[in-house]
């Protein structure tokens, strides 16, 4: 059982979360480019230097690594599941464990990353790192080398389906992304048959 974070750590986490929450609100209301760090600091009632203490760049206010909870859930997925099934189960666990506010914030960050050119460019390193880590985890689950072309192909198929879904969601924010993700993974699991013909 882990130790409970001390008062100082809890206060830091609370300040960090508040800064990010106010930043996302301002980005939504005013636009990413039009929002300054000074405005974010004022909204969070901290000094601009405090914003930079928690977030080295303006992009970092949006680009957080959301992959660790997913990787933990992927590692916990039953061993008998295939790669696509394991990813589906892991994503369900992560999404299901979020509060409505956490889910909304996560979706807002995703929307910003996909629609703001500066953030899209800055997020590419995160995306490529996440794809590599997913490939490594899937390879470990299957007991094969991460360089195996079949693992590369499965990982690429999963990521491709996710990216296509994200781009559609940006065009249609009212989409039920949870249900669509589940259906997309089921379709991938079935071998991507074209049943509409």
Mean pLDDT, to the nearest integer, of 51-75?
83
- Whether the Cβ atoms of residue 71 and residue 63 lie closer than 8 Å to each other: no
| CA 35/CA 139 separation, integer angstroms | 42
**What's the pLDDT at 186?**
92
Q: What is the pLDDT of residues 88-145, one digit of tens each?
A: 999 888 888 888 888 888 788 888 888 888 888 878 887 888 889 999 999 999 999 9
- Whether the Cβ atoms of residue 63 and residue 113 lie closer than 8 Å to each other: yes
Q: What is the pLDDT of residues 148-158, one digit of tens each?
A: 999 999 999 99
Domains, the chain, in order of start with CATH, read: 7-58 (1.10.10.60), 67-189 (1.10.357.10)
**What's the pLDDT at 13?**
83
- Of residues 38 and 17, the one with the higher pLDDT is 38
**What's the pLDDT at 65?**
59
- In the chain, the largest separation of any two C-alpha atoms, in whole Å, equals 60
| CA 186/CA 81 separation, integer angstroms | 13
Tokens 């830091």 label which residue?
A: 12
* Max avg pLDDT among 8-12, 66-70, 86-90: 86-90
Determine how many CB atoms are found less than 10 A away from the CB of residue 173. 10
- Whether the Cβ atoms of residue 114 and residue 120 lie closer than 8 Å to each other: yes
**What's the pLDDT at 37?**
94
- Of the candidate ranges 32-36, 67-71, 150-154, 172-176, the one whose mean pLDDT is the lowest: 67-71
Using DSSP, state whether 36 is helix, strand or coil.
coil
Determine how many CB atoms are found less than 10 A away from the CB of residue 121. 11
Nearest by Cα to 26 from 58, 2, 70 = 58
- Whether the Cβ atoms of residue 192 and residue 164 lie closer than 8 Å to each other: no
Q: Which two tokens stand for residue 95?
A: 């999404």
**What's the pLDDT at 169?**
85
pLDDT band with cut points at 50, 70 and 90 for residue 19 = very high
Q: Which two tokens stand for residue 47?
A: 């000094």
Q: What is the mean pLDDT of the chain?
A: 87
Mean pLDDT, to the nearest integer, of 174-186?
89
**What's the pLDDT at 118?**
82
The yes-or-no verdict on residue 196 having pLDDT over 80 is no
């Amino acid at each position: 059982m882990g130790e409970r974070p001390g008062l100082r750590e809890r206060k830091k986490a609370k300040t960090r979360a508040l800064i990010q929450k106010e930043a996302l609100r301002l980005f939504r209301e005013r636009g990413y480019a039009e929002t300054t760090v000074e405005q974010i600091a004022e909204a969070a009632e901290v000094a601009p230097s405090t914003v930079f203490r928690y977030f080295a760049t303006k992009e970092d206010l949006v680009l957080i690594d959301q992959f660790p909870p997913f990787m933990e859930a992927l590692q916990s997925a039953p061993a008998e599941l295939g790669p696509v099934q394991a990813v589906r189960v892991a994503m369900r666990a992560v999404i299901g464990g979020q509060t409505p506010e956490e889910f909304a914030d996560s979706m807002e960050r995703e929307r910003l990353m996909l629609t703001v050119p500066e953030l899209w460019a800055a997020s590419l390193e995160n995306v490529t790192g996440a794809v590599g880590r997913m490939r490594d985890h899937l390879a470990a689950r299957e007991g094969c080398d991460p360089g195996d072309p079949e693992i590369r192909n499965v990982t690429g198929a999963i990521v491709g389906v996710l990216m296509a879904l994200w781009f559609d969601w940006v065009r249609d924010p009212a989409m039920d992304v949870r249900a669509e993700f589940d259906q997309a993974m089921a379709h991938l699991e079935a071998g991507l048959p074209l049943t509409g013909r």
